[in-house]
Amino acid sequence: MKTALLIVDIQNDFCPGGSLEVKDGDTIIQSVNELAGSDRYDIVVATQDWHPANHGSFASQHGAEPFSNGKLDGENQIFWPDHCIQNSEGANFHPDLNTAPVKAIFRKGMDELVDSYSGFFDNKRKRDTGLRHYLSGLGIEEVHVCGLAADVCVKFTASDSLDLGFKTILIEDCTKAINDGDFEKFIELFQSKGGIVTNKKNIIGV
């Protein structure tokens, strides 16, 4: 079975010091590098949040407080701090992430009228990033997911991977959540649908 490692959004704005930081988000990077550098995978790919400066999910576009709730193009929306703006330092991959093994990068969140958590689709599932076709074209049947943030973009990416028919494994110690409680609830649902949760040691032995 051909297997892909999917690294989700390990970008400066999601790491400590970033505008939408995940606590201790940078502590997973060494483990992710070890996974990516192993011979376990047929392909390593990554996703990258890549927002225009006027993205409608930004609280600044609505005069709202960050993390408040509102509407974006008629849909419920959490208003985030400005983050991962195209060509900004915050949108860059964290400098400790070894991107050499990464063979393709799939950007998301470029339409200012819809947010995009999953690496496969936007939140309205109107636009496909091309990731599923890329993986399928390579004969990938199994996808291992890691990165940031566990309870947002990793969660939606892993869920879509499973729904698209890939055998999907979430590497729990290679992700960090904003809200651990939300992530734990997702794990229960993910496993009930046939998703697998494991750790790095079980994948590469170290």
Tell me, yes or no, if 108 is annotated catalytic: yes
Exposure letters 14-31 (e unless 16+ CB within 10 A, then b) = bbeebbbbbeebbebbeb
User: Which of 9, 115, 151, 160 is flagged as catalytic?
Assistant: 9
**What is the sign, positive or negative, of the torsion defined by CA atoms of 7, 152, 29, 93?**
positive
- Spatial distance between the Cα atoms of 201 and 203, rounded to a whole number of angstroms: 5
The one catalytic residue among 108, 155, 176, 200 = 108
Asked if 15 is an active-site residue, the reply is no
**Is 2 assigned a catalytic role?**
no
Whether 203 contacts 35, CB under 8 Å: yes
Query: Which of the following is catalytic: 15, 84, 146, 153?
Result: 153
Phi and psi, residue 161, nearest 5°? -55, -45
Active site residues: 9, 108, 153
